[in-house]
């Protein structure tokens, strides 16, 4: 007889997807663990440690149960259950009673027993998914670097406190109007620079008098009058230029004085900034390629289908040969009749 080939069973998509996801997760976890390389330097160390795990829901994942507090469990709890014993079963006839009725022997009688059975407590729900590990990178400093950090942080804290104390005084300071009137600006010029200008021109005037005297030019002469007139004209022009420049300088100086306390507080605050830690990157980037599990399953199925088709073709050919042989035999038998 020619056997009929059996068609291969198509892979279950859900099982294939679940296996592929598990493969991907395992590969990702292996890559993460390989790249979490601890580092030891003269200034400090960087170490990695697994400190927990997160649950990722996936309908193709593993079966878990969640209790009323949100905790996940990979299996259901059990409790004790009493299983009653079973009565004996009839077997062969042993003998007959006085009334001629058969008396059977019994075997297999058992006593009651206690067994552990799983159960679903109230408030528990089922879910599917995967647990993935979580890591913590811990950076520690060398003893010397730690001392520097402690001292720097203490100094920054002091600067921050000082800035806070000074800023409390700024309300009254800023509420005082800033006087930029011409009279105030001129007073500032006279108090700070006007004397220098006048002293310089007084020295120049004395030098001019001496020069004219050395040349024999007498006071009251036309030459003397012309020279003094030119000197006065130049002095006035220089005074106008100097006053304009000093006016701008005075405004800038007054504003600088006004802003100085604010700038000092800003400088104190900038010195008390919290320094964010800088973490070193991973020293390696090893990557394990993910296995195409779904592709392998599908290819295996296609290979089995190919073999099945070949077997069907051979079976059909064999059956065709048998039918042909039968027809020949029948034809010969008919001719012989």
Per-residue pLDDT tens digits for 161-170:
888 888 887 7
Q: What is the pLDDT of residues 10-23, one digit of tens each?
A: 888 888 888 888 88
Asked whether the predicted pLDDT for residue 326 surpasses 60, the reply is no
CB atoms within 10 A of CB 32: 16
Asked whether the predicted pLDDT for residue 145 surpasses 50, the reply is yes
Does 308 lie in the same domain as 197? no
- The average confidence (pLDDT) of the chain is 80
Does 200 lie in the same domain as 293? no
220: left (phi over 0), alpha (psi -120 to 50) or beta: left
- Collect all residues with Cβ–Cβ distance below 8 Å to 315 and sequence separation of at least 6: 2, 3, 4, 5
Asked whether the predicted pLDDT for residue 330 surpasses 60, the reply is no
Does 232 lie in the same domain as 319? no
Of 266 and 63, the one with more pLDDT: 63
Does 180 lie in the same domain as 137? no
Residue 85's pLDDT is 66
Looking at 223, 245, 271, the residue that finishes a domain is 271
Asked whether the predicted pLDDT for residue 329 surpasses 60, the reply is no
Does 316 lie in the same domain as 238? no
Does 323 lie in the same domain as 263? no
With cut-offs at 50, 70 and 90, classify the pLDDT of residue 333. very low
Number of domains into which the chain is organized: 2
Helix 143-167 × helix 222-271 angle, to 10°: 120
What's 192's DSSP letter?
A: I
Taking the C-alpha atoms of residue 102 and residue 90, their distance in angstroms, rounded to an integer, is 11
What's 121's DSSP letter?
A: -
- HSE at residue 336, side-chain half, CA atoms within 13 A, is 6
Looking at 239, 271, 303, the residue that finishes a domain is 271
Residue 127's pLDDT is 92
Token pair in block for residue 25: 């997760």
Asked whether the predicted pLDDT for residue 327 surpasses 70, the reply is no
With cut-offs at 50, 70 and 90, classify the pLDDT of residue 295. confident
Of the ranges 64-73, 92-101, 248-257, which is most confident? 64-73
Taking the C-alpha atoms of residue 187 and residue 221, their distance in angstroms, rounded to an integer, is 39
Q: What is the pLDDT of residues 173-214, one digit of tens each?
A: 777 787 777 777 788 788 877 888 889 989 998 998 899 889
Return the closest-CA partner of residue 304 out of 6, 61, 91: 6
Asked whether the predicted pLDDT for residue 302 surpasses 50, the reply is yes
Token pair in block for residue 59: 């309908």
Residues 72, 64 contacting (CB under 8 angstroms): yes
Does 230 lie in the same domain as 134? no
Taking the C-alpha atoms of residue 71 and residue 65, their distance in angstroms, rounded to an integer, is 8
Secondary element (H or E) of residue 272: none
Radius of gyration of the chain (CA): 53
Helix and strand element counts for the chain (H, E) = 7, 8
Which 3 state secondary structure label does DSSP give 37?
coil
Alpha carbon distances (Å) from 48 to 37, 136, 280: 7, 6, 12
With cut-offs at 50, 70 and 90, classify the pLDDT of residue 274. very low
Residue 123's pLDDT is 92
CA angle (265, 268, 271) in 5-degree steps? 150
Does residue 116 belong to any structural domain of this protein?
Answer: no
Of 10-19, 120-129, 264-273, give the lowest mean pLDDT range.
264-273
Does 231 lie in the same domain as 164? yes
Does residue 100 belong to any structural domain of this protein?
Answer: no
Does residue 210 belong to any structural domain of this protein?
Answer: yes
Token pair in block for residue 55: 């649950």
**Domain containing 47: what range?**
1-63+126-141+285-337
């Amino acid at each position: 007889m020619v056997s009929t080939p059996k068609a291969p069973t198509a892979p279950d998509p859900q099982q294939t997807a679940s296996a592929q996801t598990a493969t991907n997760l395992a590969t990702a976890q292996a890559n993460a663990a390989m790249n979490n390389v601890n580092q030891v330097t003269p200034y400090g160390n960087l170490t990695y440690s697994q400190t927990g795990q997160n649950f990722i829901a996936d309908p193709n994942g593993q079966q878990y149960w969640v209790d009323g507090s949100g905790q996940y469990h990979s299996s259901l709890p059990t409790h004790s259950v009493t299983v009653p014993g079973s009565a004996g079963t009839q077997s062969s006839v042993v003998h007959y009673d006085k009334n001629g009725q058969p008396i059977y022997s019994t075997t297999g009688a058992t006593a009651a027993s206690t067994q552990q059975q799983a159960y679903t407590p109230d408030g528990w729900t089922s879910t599917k998914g995967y647990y993935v590990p979580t890591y913590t990178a811990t950076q520690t400093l060398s003893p010397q670097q730690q001392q520097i950090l402690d001292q720097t942080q203490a100094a920054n804290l002091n600067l921050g406190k000082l800035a806070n104390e000074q800023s409390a005084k700024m309300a009254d300071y800023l509420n005082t109007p800033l006087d930029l009137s011409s009279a105030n600006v001129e007073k500032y010029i006279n108090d700070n620079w006007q004397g220098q200008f006048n002293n310089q021109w007084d020295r120049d005037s004395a030098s001019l008098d001496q020069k004219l005297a050395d040349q024999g030019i007498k006071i009251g002469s036309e030459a003397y009058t012309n020279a003094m007139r030119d000197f006065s004209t130049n002095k006035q022009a220089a005074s106008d230029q100097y006053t304009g420049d000093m006016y701008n300088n005075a405004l800038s100086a007054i504003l600088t004085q006004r802003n100085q306390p604010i700038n000092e507080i800003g400088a104190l605050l900038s010195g008390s900034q919290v320094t964010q830690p800088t973490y070193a990157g991973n020293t390696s980037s090893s990557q394990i390629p993910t296995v195409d599990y779904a592709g392998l399953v599908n290819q295996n199925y296609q290979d089995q289908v190919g073999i099945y088709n070949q077997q069907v073709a051979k079976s059909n050919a064999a059956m065709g040969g048998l039918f042909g042989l039968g027809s020949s035999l029948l034809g010969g038998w008919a001719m012989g009749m």
